[in-house]
Amino acid sequence: MSLGHRYHGRIVLIGSFVAALFAACAQGNHVEPTGGAASGGAGGEGGGGIPPGQIGGPCDDDTPCEQGECTNVGPNKYCVVPCPPACPDGTYCAIINGDSICVPDLGAQCRPCVTFLQCSNPSDACLTAPAGDKFCARDCTTDGECPNGFTCMEGAKYPPTQGGEVPDAGAGDDAGGGGAGGEGGAGGAGGGAPDAGTTKPPPGQAYKFCVPNVPFSCRCDEKRDGVEKGCSNSNQFGTCVGVETCNGESGNFEGCTAKVPAAEACNVIDDDCDGAIDEGEPNELCSAEGPVPPHASWACSEQGKCELGPCEPGWSAYPPGPIADGCTCPVEMGEPNDLCMNATPAGSVSDTSGSSITITGTLGGAGDVDVWSFDTVDTAEGNVTNSYHVSIDFVSPTPNDEFVIDVIRGDACTDTPAGGGVGITSYDWCVDGKSADGLQGEAPCSNTGAQPTHCNDNSTKYYVRVYRKLGAQGTCTQYSLLVTAAGGDPCDFTQKCQ
């Protein structure tokens, strides 16, 4: 049975359908076919310059073939012969509707495409290179032959994954010889390439195609003018990717949009192109702002602004000032001590001569409160006047226009005290009279028993809350309180024990 009788009938039907799809797709994607597509009629050359009637040349009922059969290949008819053996110059061996025949080389290799219907022959594939650019790849399933600079490779294994290999340009330029040694990877072959994972394609189906050698993308020429592919810039900071465009006139891919990687900085930009923004140590991210602020660190805000970071222990940034000043306010080591439960112990004081406590601190914030605790001891003095007299006074700053205290006598400390000991600047508690602020002392005294005692044992715990008075200008001024238990401001001795 002749070539024409064997498959001419089914090619006419299927070829007409493919021709209609080919024309529609080419118009819809605006990819202009280039490289000498045949006219498909008599009276002129087609098929890549092959004269009508020759193998690979156009033919129709008026221009019969001198050799072979007049057969539909895509949208046009050409004179074709079976292959192998090798095809004449200007043609290559491709599988058309299950049969290997010599079809004209219409210059479609590396033509830009979106689908295989934009390539010249229905067994060609539209593949995606590793750099993202799509190109027409001609069928080489039957004989493994490809143009110089290309290798015949299974579509299901292209592009090669890590560990796969495609020879460098110049290696195997003449025939390309068989498939590459890569593993896995989706083929992306529009012209009948099998899905990834298919081990053996059905008989009579194209599954090997001519792909460019390293770097795996087709070279830039007039045919590929305007094609975009991936590009990158790398240095010690990382790798940034972008796209570059083929300038058909110069024959070069130009205008790579990949930025140059840089050290990560606080700017809401992925400077080193690792997929994360403003990651890293804040003092390094903000190094361009200047030295690390004193007693502090830098912080990078969500808005990409360098701000004052946490203060070192024992320091606060109060009152607020320039970032470069850092944390300028030293605070007492007992912080945080703003609640009764966190009160800082200040020691013990008695009514013996020379006993005293000095409490020193700073308020390192607008709402800061310092709570201190201390013990007072009323020593036994026999049947003489009891000298126990608790006095609490500011000794600095002078004058004191900023600080006030709340004084709580006894173990029942509260963070919201009330009474005469609230919001004051000095305090006295007299054992045998009434202090100037109206706080009642120990009166009347106890005179019961065989041996009358002048006064009771008044030893107790104290809590003192230090804070700014309402409306005071906040500063980092240090305050000092002097505490004694043996006299202070004069008491009203008309209230003394009888």
Q: From the CB of residue 165, how many other CB atoms can be counted at a distance below 10 Å?
A: 12
Residues 6+ apart with CB under 8 A from 360: 332, 478, 479, 480, 481
Question: Which DSSP letter does residue 28 get?
Answer: H
Look at residue 197 in the predicted model and tell me its pLDDT: 46
DSSP state of 340: G
pLDDT for 380 equals 80
The confidence score (pLDDT) of residue 384 equals 59
- Nearest one of 223, 237, 247 to 120, comparing CA atoms: 223
Residues written for the chain: 498
Q: What residues contact residue 306 under an 8 Å CB cut-off, 6+ apart?
A: 266, 282, 285, 286, 289, 298, 299, 300, 323
Report pLDDT digits (tens) over 387-433: 788 999 999 999 999 999 999 999 999 999 998 899 999 998 877 66
pLDDT tens digits, residue range 91-127? Answer: 999 999 899 999 999 999 999 999 988 998 899 999 9
In percent, how much of the chain has pLDDT > 70? 74
More confident position, 278 or 165: 278
What local confidence, expressed as pLDDT, does residue 440 receive?
Answer: 54
Per-residue confidence at 28, pLDDT binned at 50, 70, 90? Answer: very low
pLDDT score for 382: 66
The pLDDT tens digits of the residues spanning 118-153 come to: 998 899 999 999 999 999 999 999 999 999 999 999
Separation between Cα atoms, residue 41 and residue 15, nearest integer Å: 16
pLDDT > 80? residue 11: no
Question: How many CB atoms within 10 Å of residue 249?
Answer: 10
pLDDT at 77: 92
pLDDT of residue 419: 86
Q: Around Cβ 44, how many Cβ atoms within 10 Å?
A: 12
- Give the separation between CA 117 and CA 18, rounded to whole angstroms: 8
- Predicted local distance difference test score (pLDDT) of residue 420: 84
Residue 135 is inside which H or E element, if any? strand 134-137
Structure tokens that stand for 55 in this block:
């193998």
**pLDDT for residue 490:** 64
Q: Determine the pLDDT at residue 278.
A: 96
Q: What is the C-alpha to C-alpha distance for residues 118 and 122, in angstroms, rounded to an integer?
A: 9
Count CB-CB contacts under 10 A for residue 86. Answer: 12
Out of 23-32, 231-240, 488-497, least confident range: 23-32
Average pLDDT of the chain to the nearest whole number:
80
Domain annotation for the chain: domains and CATH numbers: 51-160+193-218 (no CATH), 291-330 (no CATH), 340-484 (2.60.120)
- The pLDDT of 318-344, averaged and rounded, is 93
For residue 245, pLDDT over 60 is answered with yes
For residue 164, is pLDDT > 90? no
CB count in 10 Å sphere of residue 454: 16
Contacting residues for 492 by C-beta, under 8 A, at least 6 apart? 430, 433, 434, 435, 436
Kindly give, in sequence order, each residue whose CB lies less than 8 Å from that of residue 367, ignoring residues fewer than 6 positions away: none
pLDDT (tens digit, 9 = 90+) per residue, 37-74?
Answer: 333 333 334 456 899 999 999 998 888 899 899 999 98
Q: What is the pLDDT of residue 350?
A: 95
Looking at residue 408, what is its pLDDT? 95
With CA atoms as reference, report the closest residue to 158 among 137, 176, 177: 137
Rama region for 382: left / alpha / beta (φ>0; ψ in -120 to 50; rest): left
Decide if pLDDT at 312 tops 50: yes
CA distance 26 to 468: 81
Q: Are strands 208-212 and 306-308 parallel, antiparallel or unpaired?
A: unpaired
Position 437 scores a pLDDT of 57
CB-based burial, 254-292: b 16+ in 10 Å, e otherwise: eebebeebeebbbbeebbbbeeeebeeebbebbbebeee
Pairing of β 134-137 and β 460-468: unpaired
Q: Is the pLDDT of residue 201 over 80?
A: no
- pLDDT tens across 364-377, in order? 999 999 999 999 99
pLDDT of residue 306: 96
Question: Residues near 281 by Cβ (< 8 Å), separated by ≥ 6?
Answer: none
178 or 154, greater pLDDT: 154
pLDDT at 388: 84
At 387 the pLDDT is: 78
Q: What proportion of the chain, given as a percentage, has pLDDT over 90?
A: 59
Residue 192: pLDDT over 80: no
Is the whole-model pTM more than 0.85? no
Q: What gap in Å lies between CA 223 and CA 35, rounded to an integer?
A: 8
- Residue 163 above 50 pLDDT? no
Higher pLDDT, 197 or 341: 341
DSSP of 169-207, one letter per residue?
A: TTTTTTT--S-----------TTTPPPTT-SSPPTT---
pLDDT band at 438; cut points 50, 70, 90: low
More confident residue, 183 or 251: 251
- Cis upstream peptide for 397 (omega within 30°): yes
What is the pLDDT confidence band of residue 17, given thresholds at 50, 70 and 90? very low
And the tokens for 192? 């009948």
Specify whether the CB–CB gap between 126 and 139 falls below 8 A.
Answer: no
Residues 6+ apart with CB under 8 A from 355: 349, 484, 485, 486
Degrees, nearest 5: CA angle 439-389-337: 75
Residue 282, pLDDT score: 96
Whole-number pLDDT of residue 379: 87
